[in-house]
Amino acid sequence: MFAPAAEHNALVLPAHLPGHGAFELRRAGAGYEIAAWAPFSRT
């Protein structure tokens, strides 16, 4: 799941990670890291 998201700059909506929205991934060595959070308002 992470490889296509990182390659296509797709937002990932985490079900089991802390945060208030989605995030973008990028490759970091042999793994991945969060490039930026894309917060959503709590309405």
Q: Is the pLDDT of residue 13 over 70?
A: yes
CA separation for the pair 42, 16 (Å, rounded): 18
Q: What is the mean pLDDT of residues 19-42?
A: 86
Q: What is the pLDDT of residue 19?
A: 62
Q: What is the pLDDT of residue 25?
A: 92
Sorted by sequence, the CB contacts under 8 Å of residue 34 that are 6+ apart come out as: 23, 24, 25
Helix (H) or strand (E) holding 23: strand 21-28
Q: Is the pLDDT of residue 42 over 80?
A: no
